[in-house]
Amino acid sequence: MADQQDVALMAHLLRRAGFGASRDEIEAKAAQGYDSVVEELLNPSSVPNVEEDLLMRYMPAYHEAAAIETNIQAWVWRMINTPRQLQEKMALFWHMIFCAGHSKIDSGQEMGRMIAMFREHGMGNFRNLLWLLSTSPAMVYYLDNSESHKENLNENYGRELLELFSLGVGKDEEFNYSEDDVKACARAFTGWNIAPSYPPFPYGRSPWEFRFDPADHDDSEKTFLGETGNLNGDDVLDIICKQPATARFVARHLYNFFVADDVQIPAWRLTPPRDMKAIEAMEQAYFDSGYEIKAVLEVLFKSDFFKAEDVRFAKVKNPAEMVVSTMRLVGEHRDIQPGLFEFSQEPKYMGMDLMNPPTVEGWHTGREWIDSGTLVERINFAADLMGNTELPGVQSLVGRLMAQGDSLTPDQFVAGCLDLTGPLIVTDDTLQQLRAHASKDGNLTTANQAEFSRRAGEMFQMIAATAEFQFE
Amino acid sequence: MVSTQKDPVLAVLSLSGGNDGLNTVIPYNNPLYRDYRPTLGIPEGQIISINDQLGFHPTMGPLKKFWDEGKLAIFLGVGYDNPSYSHFRSMDIWHTCEPDKIGTEGWLGRVLKEIDPTAENVLCGVNFGRGLPRALVMEGVPVASVGNLETYGLLTGIDGEGQRDQALDVFGRMYSPAMGSGAVMDYIHSTGTNALKGADILATAPDKYTSEVEYSNTDVGQYMKNIAQTHLAEFGSRVLYTTSPYNIFDTHANQASLHSGLWSDVSNNVDTFYQDLRDHNASDNVMLLMFTEFGRRISDNGSGTDHGAGGIAWVVGENVKGGIYGEYPSLEPSQQEEGGNLKYSMDFRSIYTTIVEDWFKMDAQPIVGGSFEKVNFL
């Protein structure tokens, strides 16, 4: 039997390395043991895949769908249902860094293929991932490498590869590359193109494939980050991956996504990491393993800096996390049923239009998820689900609360609900308000089960409305 | 020059999906129109003529009234260089005024920032619909986004007025300023307090509202009604925005009946909207802009029309100088945009520039991202 501390730590791991879990799942995993669960998360093939064939059987139109909405629905369904939670979390992680957006690409199918690539390779080798990214048709088009020619260079991909996908502008107050490096990088990637070319009108769209055109590749000598030669894109990726700046880039992004909110990427040159020791440990793992993301993740999840109390609830949930983790907790759409479309649009209402990031820099995270419009959406969404005592997950929480005793004092009632919905840690002020609210109707007794259920649902709603619930 | 005593208000109705301009303002005397529209051409007898060259779609009778009053400005051949045929990208361009790169700020967000730089009025800008259109996005500009004005607010899922009031009371106290719980927590508390304030104010709009008119029971009808309700409630809202159902103007197939239904709905609701405001003596400071991300292909495809370029935009208002602005794009093959499309002749930012300078009395250059010739419809 896992104790309370184990449950709290496991809940923390499953919120970060996945999209949360039901209380039953949290307790079962806590009993399984922390390191064993980390191993399972890091080795997705050790657990069954999500039953995608079932989804396709009920909804055949999901197969290689052209419509963006269908691809988003399939992705949200997968986030909710896949037993390989970290794998899906990593697909979201890379989508938030290696940004390409539907507003330009205009093909749900290409976006779906790109996310599938992140899913399959997101915990693999970073060098390989950058190569797949550089040959991803969606990216080649999104950042205009398809418009970059031997005789007419377009620097867009060359620049963003360095600035936003690998080195970052700078670290420790130094710059990581020069404008000449940007040009050399762009030249090395000339000829990395796609077929068929854009636009698809008037004959409609065929799937894109990567195509290298040797005749359009700039074969002349280049100097990139101090190395000179007849460099092509592969050489450039080799040079990028061995830079300390790239290790820093990977480590800072993983920290910001999995551990605690930190400043956004434009500030990284001048603002040191929130926890330099943590970053250094991950940088070391990056080099020791030969750029394996899984090795860096293993260090992260097994570290004290990840398990520490002070990083719990130190991250504002992104909209996908808010939507999916709430749905997992309350047991909504954990099978195949109609109504997925509306749920899959919820992240967009909260400011995260999945598969369509606002710019190549992606979404800013942390407090920037919150404004007066998105906060209303977040609170109402979570409160509606958490207060719906018809849902299996909520019923299970109510049942657990009933099992705590025939009569709960208001303080016990609040403590029980906070424990079951997290365990969520709230400030003293919030706790006092929730207790005052609970006191109005006195002790919570199982004598009247309908009333018990109603009051519990209302308390879950109030908890979903707290500022603390915005964090994970 | 415009002279209004009350603060100018802009209402926007975005026609999402790409409206077919050729069948909206019809060049009925141009023989090429008949050649290109063998299936979808509107029979001449049904066209509502507005001059000896152009006529409205038969369902647009209610808009003709504004034309006759001289309060409807029609902009022909509106677009931008190197047109995008993607709904999403083209809408983005219209929203951000950034045709060459992906923009993050909306032009109306910038207008709101200029009107209320310290965000004192949380309802300065209000959107009706779910999610915020990029046109209204701007750092430090709170814009309420209202899916349904009748039920808008926090914790709307709680049944029973008494229980919800209690819950909101707890919410208000939970979000009151907290000391020492960190910058992000403080920020969330103040945002929650703002949201509650905005919701409380907005919730009073439907109760304050009485009206003789009936809007249609469609999204466009209900949101135009919500715009009227919010304006009439005098919350100081200056930009009131809504969008037709997503991509509903994207008439690739079965256009004849779809397009009739759409314009019947839009025309009737715009008419009802102004009637409503006039009944309340509140129409003189409201201008309505209608736009779409692009027009459609010149040739019909037998059932509908595909994505095109140059489109039509509209402005309605008591202070508007009605008339035709811009040239009808030529249907001659040699004059067409590549791919059988209408070539634009008026940059959409010219219309925005006029609105920003002559309606909102601001410098348009930083808001629309450049200098564009004004169109003198104000």
CB contact under 8 A, A372 and B92: no
Q: Identify whether A143 is part of a domain.
A: yes
Q: What is the pLDDT of residue B162?
A: 86
CB contact under 8 A, A375 and B188: yes
In a shared domain, residues A195 and A82: yes
Q: Of the residues A277, A311, A345, which one is the last residue of a structural domain? A: A311
How many interchain CB pairs under 8 A, A with B? 133
In a shared domain, residues A129 and A273: yes
Q: Of the residues A264, A279, A311, which one is the last residue of a structural domain? A: A311
Q: Which residues pair with A195 in a beta bridge?
A: A209
Distance CA B311, CA B292 (A): 7
Identify the closest residue of chain A to B93 by CA–CA distance: A103
Q: Which of residues 327-366 of A touch B (CB under 8 A)?
A: 345, 348-349, 351, 353, 356, 358-360, 366
Q: Does B167 touch chain A (CB under 8 A)?
A: yes
Q: Identify whether A25 is part of a domain.
A: no
Q: Identify whether A350 is part of a domain.
A: no
| Residue matched to tokens 């806590």 | A30
Q: Does B170 touch chain A (CB under 8 A)?
A: yes
Q: What is the pLDDT of residue B1?
A: 38
Which residues in chain B touch residue A437, judged by CB atoms under 8 angstroms apart? 166-167, 170
Q: Does A384 touch chain B (CB under 8 A)?
A: yes
Q: Identify whether A296 is part of a domain.
A: yes
Q: What is the Rg, in whole angstroms, of the alpha carbon atoms belonging to chain A?
A: 24
In a shared domain, residues A263 and A406: no
Distance CA B95, CA B109 (A): 10
Distance CA B124, CA B141 (A): 9
Domain that holds residue A85: 46-311
Asked which of A106-115, A411-420, B184-193 is least confident by mean pLDDT, the reply is B184-193
CB contact under 8 A, B184 and A462: no
In a shared domain, residues A407 and A285: no
Identify the closest residue of chain A to B168 by CA–CA distance: A462
Chain A contact probe: residue of B136, B148, B159, B174 with most A CBs at under 10 A: B174
Type of residue at B44: E
Which residues in chain A touch residue B175, judged by CB atoms under 8 angstroms apart? 467
SS3 per-residue string spanning chain A = CCCHHHHHHHHHHHHHCCCCCCHHHHHHHHHHCHHHHHHHHHCHHHCCCCCHHHHHHHCHHHCCCCCHHHHHHHHHHHHHHCCCHHHHHHHHHHHCCCCCCHHHHCCHHHHHHHHHHHHHHCCCEHHHHHHHHHCCHHHHHHCCHHHCCCCCCCCHHHHHHHHCCCCCCEECCEECCCHHHHHHHHHHCCCEEEECCCCCCCCCCCCCEEEECHHHCCCCCEEECCEEECCCHHHHHHHHHCCHHHHHHHHHHHHHHHCCCCCCHHHCCCCCCCCHHHHHHHHHHHHHCCCEHHHHHHHHHHCHHHHCHHHCCCCECCHHHHHHHHHHHHCCCCCCCCCHHHHHHHHHHCCCCCCCCCCCCCCCCHHHHCCHHHHHHHHHHHHHHHCCCCCHHHHHHHHHHHCCCCEECHHHHHHHHHHHCCCCCCCHHHHHHHHHHHHCCCCEECCCHHHHHHHHHHHHHHHHCCCHHHEC
Distance from CA of B318 to the nearest CA of A (A): 32
A89 has a pLDDT exceeding 90 = yes
Q: What residue ranges define each of the domains in chain B, with the CATH number in brackets? A: 9-150+215-368 (3.40.720)
Q: What is the pLDDT of residue A200?
A: 67
Say how many domains are in chain A: 2
Q: Identify whether A358 is part of a domain.
A: no
Which residues in chain A touch residue B173, judged by CB atoms under 8 angstroms apart? 433
Q: Identify whether A52 is part of a domain.
A: yes
Return the H-helix or E-strand segment holding B15. strand B9-15
In a shared domain, residues A407 and A287: no
pLDDT, tens digit (0-9, with 9 covering 90-100), for A129-164: 999 999 999 999 999 999 999 999 999 999 999 999
pLDDT, tens digit (0-9, with 9 covering 90-100), for A193-226: 999 877 666 677 788 999 999 999 999 999 999 9
Asked which of B184-188, B259-263, B295-299 is least confident by mean pLDDT, the reply is B184-188
In a shared domain, residues A396 and A306: no
- The count of other CB atoms within 10 Å of the CB of residue B95 is 21
Q: What is the pLDDT of residue A386?
A: 97
Pairing mode of beta strands A407-408, A444-445? antiparallel
Chain A contact probe: residue of B184, B187, B201, B341 with most A CBs at under 10 A: B184
Q: Which residues pair with A360 in a beta bridge?
A: none
- Comparing B94 with B200, the larger pLDDT belongs to B94
Per-residue pLDDT, averaged over B25-40, amounts to: 96
CB contact under 8 A, A379 and B156: no
As for the ipTM of the complex, it is 0.91
CB contact under 8 A, B198 and A372: yes
Q: Does B174 touch chain A (CB under 8 A)?
A: yes
Classify each residue of A91-118 as buried b or exposed e, where b means 16 or more C-beta atoms within 10 Å of its C-beta.
Answer: bbbbbbbbbbbbbbbbbbbbbbbbbebb
pLDDT, tens digit (0-9, with 9 covering 90-100), for B231-274: 999 999 999 999 999 889 999 888 999 999 999 999 999 999 99
Q: Which residues pair with A209 in a beta bridge?
A: A195
Pairing mode of beta strands B311-317, B323-325? unpaired
Nearest beta carbon to residue B157 from set A201, A353, A380 = A380
Q: Of the residues A254, A280, A311, which one is the last residue of a structural domain? A: A311
Q: What is the pLDDT of residue A373?
A: 81
Q: Identify whether A402 is part of a domain.
A: yes
Please give the mean pLDDT across all residues of chain A: 95
**Which residue in A184, A124, A164 sits closest to A249, CA to CA?**
A164
Cut 0.95: pTM above it? no
Which residues in chain B touch residue A349, judged by CB atoms under 8 angstroms apart? 130-131, 145
Give the DSSP per-residue string, B287-305: EEEEEES--B-SS--SS--
Q: Identify whether A276 is part of a domain.
A: yes
**Which residue in B44, B61, B91, B17 sits closest to B306, CA to CA?**
B17
Pairing mode of beta strands B54-56, A222-224? unpaired
CB contact under 8 A, A461 and B157: yes
Distance from CA of A377 to the nearest CA of B (A): 8
Q: What is the pLDDT of residue B3?
A: 43
Q: Which of residues 272-331 of A touch B (CB under 8 A)?
A: 316
Distance CA B76, CA B343 (A): 10
pLDDT, tens digit (0-9, with 9 covering 90-100), for B351-360: 999 999 999 9
**pLDDT band, residue B338 (cuts 50/70/90):** confident
Distance CA A159, CA A183 (A): 8
Can you count the helices (H) and strands (E) in chain B?
11, 12
Token pair listed for B142: 């709170």
